[in-house]
Homo-oligomer: A and B are copies of this chain.
Amino acid sequence: MIDNPFYSHEFHGDYDLVSIGRLDLEEGGSIADCQLAVATFGTLNDARDNAILVTTWYSGTHQIFRDVYIGPDHALNPERYFIVVIDQIGSGLSTSPHNAPDEIAMSNFPKVRIGDDVVAQERLLREHFGIETLQLVVGGSMGAQQTYEWAVRFPDKVKRAAPIAGTAQNTPHDFLFGKALVEAITSDPGFADGEYKSNADVVAGLTRHAGIWAVMGFSTEFWKQEVWRALEFGSKEEFLAGFLEPYFTAMDPNDLLCMAWKWQRGDVARHTGGDLAAALGRITATTFVLPINEDMFFPVRDHEAEQALIANSELRVIDDVLGHLGLFGVAPTFMQQVDRHLGELLAR
């Protein structure tokens, strides 16, 4: 167990740690006492039928949703809905390699799949809150993978689904992108096969990892138009050194690797012997598929191919020069689009 101050209330505001007990994992092994970090917004009604689940992305937590996505002016309106954001396993707040008990800590942490997260989340919602159905499951990137997993695994529980900038079946290109990210970290001699003493020991690897995100996370136009100037940086180097690098170097390497492994292998067709059409055919939720037009690794066409396999669905493309990391909601037009789409979806 490593004491990493980033994974704290100071940086992530209010949240609760909820134990769901023992979680047996798809790849074998288990987490004896799985704890999920949960942030809620709004009030669960007496019928317990006004809940929305928000799932989290690689390196993200509930905090970005609190800061950007959720509020009385947004479609994710806590005055109407009980909004539950559950941080994924490996996020650093929920049970993760860096905070796990010794027997599964650090390099001994078991492999976790998207399906394990969704099983854990369903149990938490049911046992802790008494929630049996969800008005909406929504998430971006790895959160989209969890959203799809929810809609395929628990079709009766999901009325609406909104995967943003992420696919139901991870693509081979995405797998290779994940591989490059993983290798940037694990190749750092300070990584020490996962048994470093502090994330600071792996700062070189985490910085290279940030550098690969710079190439793939934004669009070519983001850099060409120098959009980072709107964030009050004076050069792309300052933007890297002042934003992207500190963002990732604060994090725990094993936690990132836990999430990356999951991300690389996300695939709802595991439920149907590899048949993606059959898996997506199970979805009964009204589904809006929300790619970002400038996304370099979850491109629109990959969303389009999956959306065509979902019965009650629409493709709603978000225009954002930031590309994938438009998910941070930096562009003033990003949340306008998300709110319009989610608002229309919730009105269905």
**Contact for A171 among B184, B223, B296, B297, CB less than 8 A:** B223
Number of interface residues of A (CB under 8 A): 35
14 further A-B pairs in the complex, CB-CB below 8 A; given A180-B208, A187-B204, A220-B301: A171-B220, A172-B236, A173-B215, A173-B223, A179-B211, A180-B214, A183-B208, A183-B211, A184-B184, A187-B187, A187-B208, A212-B215, A220-B302, A296-B296
Q: What is the copy number of this chain in the assembly?
A: 2
* CB of A188 within 8 Å of the partner chain: yes
**CB neighbours of A171 from chain B (8 A):** 220, 223-224
Interface contact A214-B176, CB-CB below 8 Å: yes
* CB of A189 within 8 Å of the partner chain: yes
* CB of A216 within 8 Å of the partner chain: yes
* CB of A344 within 8 Å of the partner chain: no
Per-residue CB proximity of A174-210 to B under 8 Å, as 1/0? 0111011001100111000000000000001100100
Query: Which residues in A have some Cβ–Cβ distance to B below 8 Å?
Result: 171-173, 175-177, 179-180, 183-184, 187-189, 204-205, 208, 211-212, 214-216, 218-224, 226, 236, 296-297, 299, 301-302
Interface contact B301-A221, CB-CB below 8 Å: yes
Which partner residue on chain B sits nearest A235 by CB separation?
A: B172
Q: Give the distance in Å from the alpha carbon of A223 to the alpha carbon of B178 in the complex.
A: 14
